[in-house]
Amino acid sequence: MILVRDGPAGLETFMVERHARSAVAPSAYVFPGGTVREDDLSLKVVDAAALAKTLSSRGDAAVSAQEASSLYVCAIRELFEEAGVFLVRDAEGAVLHVAQAETSLQERLESTRLALQSGDFTIAQVLDENGWRPAFDCPVPFSHWITPRAVAARFDTRFFVAELPPGQSALHDTIETTAGVWLTPSRALEPEFHTVFATAHHLRRLLPFEGVSDLLAFAREKPIRTVLPELVESGEGRRAAIPPHLNDSW
């Protein structure tokens, strides 16, 4: 989930630093995210067909209603677990707002976050108990990347873009990550912040946008073409490369 906000120097995105002992991308700065869990499917999504239509119409492959709902549910759950930002609506339809004075709500959200991470609760249970529903209109599908075939640990990943809701703050978790920071895309691309291939390419894609509104307008209309980088040999050794016909068009 590419979480963004308007900062003093322009567009900023929230990134978390993975633990140095992580099996995948140790010490790398990444966007919050993770894998679909079986219990993500336990949430009954009434507009699953509409979500599937959104992904299928903009992509180059059809997406079933079940797959679409699992991707959106996972994106919302993982953003909450890894960044503490919960894209849900209350009974009146407003996106969750957490005032500084609402200490009881803050404490409840923190305990809920930990319970979700440990698997004690499912996201369906959390939503039912609080009378909330997922704000599926907030995450905007952005891209679809698949790890090169020759890499041992492979992922089929959907990237979404979402704006930080008013009244919420991003804070990294202490289980999978060691830091969380808001960065402009240009700052995040500096050598100080180690990023993996896909993350760096997404940061470069964000560079032209001055603010959240411009980025979201672009994200809602852009085509989503599946990117499967190739590993090629060069004078500097083995490196990943995007097929030329997809450069700047994915």
- Tens digits of per-residue pLDDT, 138-165? 999 999 999 998 887 789 999 999 999 9
| The pair of three-digit structure tokens given for residue 162, joined into one six-digit string | 């979402």
* Phi (first) and psi of residue 213, to 5 degrees: -60, -40
Name the residue range of residue 40's domain: 2-246
Considering only CA atoms, which of 28, 42, 176, 20 is closest in space to residue 113?
Answer: 176
The one-letter amino acid at 196: V
The one-letter amino acid at 10: G
| pLDDT score for 239 | 86
Binned at pLDDT 50, 70 and 90, residue 69 comes out as very high
Domain count, the chain: 1
CA angle (197 as vertex; 68, 76 as ends), nearest 5: 30
Mean pLDDT of 183-190: 98
Task: Say which CATH number the domain at 87 has.
Answer: 3.90.79.10
Mean pLDDT of 224-238: 87
Rounded CA-CA distance 74/61 in Å is 20
Residue 191, C-beta contacts closer than 8 angstroms, at least 6 positions apart: none
Rounded CA-CA distance 224/212 in Å is 19
